[in-house]
């Protein structure tokens, strides 16, 4: 379950213009065994218009630019993906589970966790049910960082930001 929604439930996307019906994007649970990235990608998005895709890309761009400009940790896409899974999923995450979820190797996850640990965004803890396994734990610094990311996203998605971005696109910038 993600934020009060069962895994696989559709989440409405904010429409880029008033009066337009909202599109949906599926929030996947665990990907089916043996499925490739292309299959998962194709199965997660439905009914998203070109206008909505442009709006989402604009929000992503605005968020990324603000994340780069601000003071604080500069995370790669992989590190940010690991961080977000650890903070937005209710259950504790293992290296193995993160590797499966992101379709990358366990050493790649270990390197991402090393960096997140350096920034105090993640803490490692031995799994009490399997001492061979390590759990990625949330930290107060990481919780504050997530609040900051959400604030940046809200600002990037605000109508004022979207309108300014549309004006820049209209004049070629």
125-170 per-position pLDDT tens digit = 998 888 888 999 999 999 999 999 999 999 999 876 554 544 444 4
Which among 102, 106, 122 is positioned nearest to 114, based on CA atoms? 122
- 49 three-class SS: coil
C-alpha span between 35 and 99 (Å, rounded): 14
The answer to whether residue 112 is domain-embedded is yes
The answer to whether residue 114 is domain-embedded is yes
Specify the CATH number for the domain of residue 138. Answer: 1.10.10.10
Which among 108, 93, 124 is positioned nearest to 30, based on CA atoms? 93
Identify the pLDDT of residue 42.
52
The answer to whether residue 32 is domain-embedded is no
Domain extent at residue 58: 52-170
pTM of the model: 0.67
Which among 91, 89, 109 is positioned nearest to 99, based on CA atoms? 109
Number of structural domains found in the chain: 1
The answer to whether residue 45 is domain-embedded is no
Strand ranges across the sheet with 122-127: 93-94, 130-138, 122-127
């Amino acid at each position: 379950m993600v934020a009060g929604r069962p895994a696989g439930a559709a989440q409405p996307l904010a429409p880029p213009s008033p009066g337009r019906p909202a599109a949906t994007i599926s929030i996947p649970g665990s990907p089916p065994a043996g499925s490739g990235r292309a299959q998962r990608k194709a199965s997660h998005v439905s009914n998203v218009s070109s206008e909505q895709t442009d709006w989402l890309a604009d929000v992503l761009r605005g968020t990324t630019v603000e994340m780069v400009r601000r003071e604080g940790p500069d995370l790669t896409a992989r590190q940010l993906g690991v961080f977000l899974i650890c903070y937005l999923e209710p259950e504790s995450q293992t290296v193995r589970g993160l590797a499966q979820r992101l379709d990358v190797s366990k050493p790649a996850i270990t390197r991402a966790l090393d960096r997140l640990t350096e920034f105090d965004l993640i803490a490692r803890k031995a799994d009490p049910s399997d001492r061979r396994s390590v759990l990625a734990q949330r930290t107060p610094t990481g919780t504050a960082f997530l609040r900051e990311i959400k604030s940046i996203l809200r600002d990037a998605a605000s109508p004022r930001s979207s309108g300014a971005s549309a004006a820049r696109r209209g004049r070629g910038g």
